Amino acid sequence: MMPVAGDVYLITGGSGFLGQEVTKLLIEENRDLSEVRILDRKIQQDFVETLQALAGSRIKLMMFKGDVRDKEVLQKACQGVTDVIHTASAIDIWGNLSKEELEDVNVEGSRLLLETSIQQNVKSFVYTSSVEVVGPNVRGDPICNGDEDVVYLGKLKFWYSRTKYTAEQLILTMNGCLLPNGERIVTCALRPMFIYGENSRFILRHLDKGIINGDVLWRSSRKQALVNPVYVGNVAWAHVLVARAMKDQDKKKIVGGKFYYITDDTPHMSYSDLDHELMSSLGFTIPEKLSMPLLLMYFIAFILEMVAFLLRPFIKYVPKTNRHLITMLNTKFTFTSHKARNDFDYIPRYSWEVAKNKTSTWLASILQQRRDSLNKKQH
């Protein structure tokens, strides 16, 4: 393959919720970009057409269908690439996926992608981590406006969280690794808060529950369990900015091998109150308090977990909730992104007002479609 003049980016999970926004912003904001490659298990044709319109004749687009466990696809996708943004991962906080599958995708897949990137002389590697690699721990110890220097102890319950942390540390420890061409790779990880915005399947799930419940949203978290969600466009913007910093001779020495929390000016609120903020304009309401005492919720979740354990030899039963999910939804857990601002000039691109309006407008555009779909299923 002939070398290309300019930056060649590979975005894993590039057709996904976050990956789409990263790709679009890269095309819009990177003047030195000559080629964008997307690696994903599903390539959405309407998204490809959107990218083609954005890229015009200036930027070459390549699509690779597959995932990060496919060595042959990785070799083709990474050849000639200068920069990798690794957003792809298996996400599971309910227990739908096995420990082995989560490790296979999140850890071994990331390891294989990193090894292939090093073999192919990739200069920079950005990893999309998560605030969940920190916690909450099983005790539900709170954090208020934490930063990268906060030491937070305790065992992580979710295998998703554990595998994301393992992959993150693997990638960060390879910062400065010698490449075959004599240069050294720069690696970095971003830890966004809970990401919301257009096309969020988590927000969609909560919308559907609200429709089924007569336009009343389910309160799964106490009002005082404050978190600070972050808009998908701002998380994507952070990826573009840190990737830019990793090309600067001075800044790459600062960001290389580091992780950064990514937040914006979305107000601190509970997960349930975020749903209400985004959907109240559509006519949805939400109870002021949990439907039952928190202790009772834990007890019921424990019983359901025991039932799932006893049935495991015979059938796979996945409860709709579990004790750690209840802890996560009801623990005060907020962070700041001051370090990202200091080290690579991260300032949120979209205000809370804009983010809220864009998300609510998207929800309004699909509301009737969701109602019709759920009515068909019920009848």
Q: How far apart (Å, rounded) are the C-alpha atoms in residues 124 and 175? A: 9
Closest CA to 101 of 309, 316, 301: 316
160 classed as catalytic: yes
Q: Rounded distance, CA 119 to CA 142, Å?
A: 42
**Measured between alpha carbons, how far apart are the two ends of the chain, in Å?**
56
Q: How far apart are CA 48 and CA 6, in angstroms?
A: 21
143 close to 150: Cβ distance less than 8 angstroms = yes
Residue pair 12/41 in contact (Cβ under 8 Å)? The answer is no
Are 4 and 80 in contact by the 8 Å Cβ rule? The answer is yes
Q: Where are the alpha helices (DSSP H) in the chain?
A: 17-29, 45-55, 71-78, 99-102, 109-119, 159-173, 201-212, 232-245, 251-255, 271-279, 294-311, 323-329, 338-344, 352-378
- Choose, from 127, 160, 261, 271, the residue flagged as catalytic: 160
Rg of the chain over CA atoms, in angstroms? 21
Name the residues annotated as catalytic: 160
